[in-house]
């Protein structure tokens, strides 16, 4: 996979040096049928290590289902999901649980636990996945909440938060264990432009600070291109384009151009 000399436009920082070795995540000919519909139809894809990868595509294209395969929440009928060369779709429950410790995940809509406070939501992965003591957990959670500007909200419940606050808490929860790979399912959809940019800025700064591998589903086109090194375009359960952002933006594929421009006319007819 080729790499780009890439500078983040909004924050002016260069991408971290390209690490040696294999892609962080590799999907090989993945197929999945749900409710009689082939949702993933032979997806083959490399997610580069220590890069921000955006996944774009129309609603129902299979983006969330694909992301859930990457963390083993859904198993494919066919194909492989390789994390550092290990096929996680073949692991036992116990092995999968261990493999998931390396991941953080922000689900579509935030998916906070309604009956837990902000503090308890962010502490949850540390209690589940680590042996940390209470004092250490407290310190880590408060540091992460400070990073997203929400220390004051630690005692609140999710229904007392605005949409933007929910995403920030979900972000703090996704990165609280210092995972190697963070998967974000639409971290900014439905937020006002300033909060959206503040979340993307937070993701970008966290990347530069920790060098995580980040995969982010987004409908924020074209803004998302400023914030991602690689772009994957999914349509009808197939990868129609994948590569460095600058190359995908210049793609001659008419479908890719239609989705980038949001054209009503083109190869995709919705009505």
Q: What is the per-residue burial (b if ≥16 Cβ within 10 Å, else e) of 225-243?
A: bebbbbbbbbbbbbbbbbb
Query: How far apart (Å, rounded) are the C-alpha atoms in residues 186 and 212?
Result: 18
Residues 95-114 that bind ligand ATP (CB under 6 A): 108
Helix 163-175 and helix 193-210, axial crossing angle in degrees, nearest 10: 10
Minimum CB distance to ligand ATP smaller for 34 or for 146:
34
Token pair 């779709």 in the structure block, residue: 89
Minimum CB distance to Mg ion smaller for 67 or for 126:
67
Query: How far apart (Å, rounded) are the C-alpha atoms in residues 231 and 214?
Result: 12
Q: Which of 2, 17, 21, 59 binds ligand ATP (CB under 6 A)?
A: 59
Give the SS3 label for residue 38.
Answer: strand
Contacts with ligand ATP by CB under 6 A: the residue count is: 13
Task: Evaluate whether 86 touches 99 at the Cβ level (below 8 Å).
Answer: yes
65 binds, among Mg ion, ligand ATP, none (CB under 5 to 8 A by kind): ligand ATP
Query: How far apart (Å, rounded) are the C-alpha atoms in residues 209 and 196?
Result: 20
Q: Which of 7, 9, 29, 37 binds ligand ATP (CB under 6 A)?
A: 37
**Binding flag, residue 69, ligand ATP (CB under 6 A):** no
Minimum CB distance to ligand ATP smaller for 148 or for 259:
259
Q: Which of 60, 85, 155, 193 binds ligand ATP (CB under 6 A)?
A: 60
What H or E segment, with its residue span, contains residue 37?
strand 37-47
Q: CB nearest Mg ion: which residue?
A: 64
**Binding flag, residue 270, ligand ATP (CB under 6 A):** no
Task: Provide the CB-side half-sphere exposure for 243 (13 A, CA).
Answer: 10
- The contact set with Mg ion (CB under 5 A) reads 64, 108
**Binding flag, residue 143, ligand ATP (CB under 6 A):** no
Smallest distance, Å, CB 133 to Mg ion? Answer: 37
**Binding flag, residue 232, ligand ATP (CB under 6 A):** no
Sequence-ordered list of residues with C-beta below 8 angstroms from that of 209, at least 6 positions apart, any chain: none
**Binding flag, residue 224, ligand ATP (CB under 6 A):** no
**Binding flag, residue 64, ligand ATP (CB under 6 A):** yes
**Binding flag, residue 218, ligand ATP (CB under 6 A):** no
250's tokens: 């210049």
* Contacting positions for ligand ATP (CB under 6 A): 34-35, 37, 39, 57, 59-65, 108
């Amino acid at each position: 996979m080729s790499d780009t000399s890439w500078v983040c436009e909004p924050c002016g920082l260069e991408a971290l040096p390209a690490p040696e070795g294999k892609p962080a995540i590799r999907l090989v000919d993945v197929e999945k049928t749900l409710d009689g519909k082939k949702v993933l139809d032979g997806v083959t894809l490399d997610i580069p290590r220590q890069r921000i990868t955006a996944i774009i595509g129309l609603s129902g294209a299979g983006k969330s289902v694909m992301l859930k395969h990457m963390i083993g929440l859904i198993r494919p009928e066919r194909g492989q999901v390789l994390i550092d060369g290990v096929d996680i779709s073949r692991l036992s429950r116990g092995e999968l649980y261990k493999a998931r410790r390396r991941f953080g995940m922000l689900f579509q809509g935030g998916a906070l636990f309604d009956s837990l406070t902000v503090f308890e939501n962010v502490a949850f992965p540390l209690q589940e996945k680590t042996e940390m003591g209470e004092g250490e957990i407290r310190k880590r959670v408060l540091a992460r909440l400070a990073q997203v500007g929400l220390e004051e909200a630690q005692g609140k419940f999710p229904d007392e938060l605005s949409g933007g606050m929910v995403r920030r808490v979900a972000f703090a929860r996704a990165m609280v264990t210092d995972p190697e790979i963070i998967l974000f399912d639409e971290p900014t959809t439905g937020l006002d432009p300033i909060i959206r940019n503040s979340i993307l800025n937070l993701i970008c700064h966290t990347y530069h600070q920790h060098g995580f591998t980040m995969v982010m589903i987004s409908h924020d086109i074209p803004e998302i291109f400023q914030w991602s090194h690689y772009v994957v375009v999914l349509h009808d359960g197939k990868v129609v384009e994948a590569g460095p952002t600058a190359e995908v933006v210049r793609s001659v594929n008419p479908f890719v151009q239609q989705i980038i421009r949001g054209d009503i006319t083109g190869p995709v007819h919705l009505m």
